[in-house]
Amino acid sequence: MAGSNKVYANAREALDGLLFDGMTILAGGFGLCGIPEHMILAIRESGVKNLTVASNNCGVDDFGLGLLLQTRQIKKMISSYVGENKLFEDQFLNGELELEFNPQGTLAERCRAGGAGIPAFYTRTGVGTVIAQGKETREFGDETYLMETALTGDLAIIKAWKADTSGNLLFRKTARNFNPPMATAGKVCVVEAEHVVEVGSLDPDNIHLPGIYVDRVFKGDRFEKRIERRTIREQ
Amino acid sequence: MAWTRQQMCERAALELADGYYCNLGIGMPTLVANYIPEDVHVHFQSENGMLGMGPFPLDNEVDADLINAGKQTITETPESVYFDSATSFAMIRGGHIDLSILGALQVAQNGDLANWMIPGKMVKGMGGAMDLVAGVRRVVVLMEHNARDGSAKLLKQCTLPLTGAGVVDLVITDLGVFEILDGAMHLRETAAGVGIDEIRARTEAEFAH
């Protein structure tokens, strides 16, 4: 994706020409924290189907990626934990939905590797478990390691706190999570941000993700930022 | 008398040394943070991308961008730092976390751990558990000695799918403390008033005493 203007008006325009049936989408977020909520809605409205979606979780029944389960647009999920979602369970148990479990660190590292041109890597995670079935293992020193392959996607959909007009990104608190590694692993990366600011207004020493990874940016008009488990202490 | 849950957490808290970087699993292990001695300062890691995790927020402090790995709202402390998931698991896999305390469905006498799935039931996923047990230097299991139906959880061999093979270092139950050393289980402590006969009757695993 070339072009000097990365700024788009909204989710629909930012995704224009990028969606197709059967594509693989990398979706940032952990639980409902730091998810690209505007683009999930735009993907739902587009009607694109047979999607493979890599995301740590799959939202809840009526928010986040759960919205794309309602419309049966997702064919396969690549996730580490999907326990929050009844719709997911129903579609998985009746065979409508495929599921590939990745240990959470393996999922993150597969994306990091995918974005860094590393086709595969070795890890101790999953050795001696069902995750290792059918995968190559190799000894280094006294330890057995499992080979995991890189993961890339046709599109990465990313939520940032601040973006400048060159696509340099800042994230906020634990809403960073899978967003940076997934941003690097998409053939195209589209970012929704709470604030879009002029290039030059962010401190170049404190950029969380350089704009080279980012193709398109838009400002989300209103973020719901739903909280999954509101937990408080008494004064 | 078997230990209460509070006594189990107090015992587990003794595994934390001053200056440790530590990851606590969901459930009872999270409560261990409430029983740390005052002269011990521990840095808590949350695998969704934070070091220096603070307590749950007051009602007016809740922030949707600040959650723990159990998706609960939390707070930051003066030492808090945030990072992405790949960096978080590089910390875990690279052996930089000193201690992980987590729950279990089954532990085998050789240190095999099963805590992520029961075949035939809906499988929710392993989350970060496989990474934690493979990468953290010392893995402590905190769990009830027996399942709700009374069956043994300390076994000769796990019957459930493994989270990791030979990964557990210490098991703290309501009956006592077991260390796994060189692939064998050793009973190290018993709860006050709990006899060795009771522990043997409620344990399938072979252990030295």
Contact yes or no for B65 and A109 at CB 8 A = no
ipTM attached to this prediction:
0.97
Name the residue in chain A with its Cα closest to that of B61: A232
> Looking at chain A from residue 79 to 98, which residues have their Cβ under 8 Å from any Cβ of chain B?
79-84, 89, 92-93
Measured between beta carbons, which residues in chain B are less than 8 angstroms from residue A194?
none
Which residue matches tokens 């039931």?
A: B121
**Per the structure block, which two tokens stand in for B30?**
């999270």
**Residue B53 Ramachandran class (φ > 0 left, ψ -120 to 50 alpha, else beta):** beta
A52 interfaces chain B, CB cutoff of 8 Å: no
**pLDDT tens digits, residue range B49-79?**
999 999 999 999 999 999 999 999 999 999 9
**Per the structure block, which two tokens stand in for A7?**
């700024």
A 10 A CB-CB count for A53 gives: 24
Measured between beta carbons, which residues in chain B are less than 8 angstroms from residue A229?
67, 70-73
B111 interfaces chain A, CB cutoff of 8 Å: no
Q: What is the pLDDT of residue B122?
A: 74
Q: What is the pLDDT of residue A93?
A: 86
pLDDT category of residue A3 using cuts at 50, 70 and 90: low
**pLDDT tens digits, residue range B112-166?**
999 999 988 878 999 999 999 999 999 999 999 999 999 999 999 999 999 999 9
Contact yes or no for B122 and A175 at CB 8 A = no
> Looking at chain B from residue 134 to 163, which residues have their Cβ under 8 Å from any Cβ of chain A?
134-135, 161-163
Q: Which of B64, B131, B124, B55 is nearest to B100 (CA)?
A: B131
- Is the pTM here over 0.95, yes or no? yes
B70 interfaces chain A, CB cutoff of 8 Å: yes
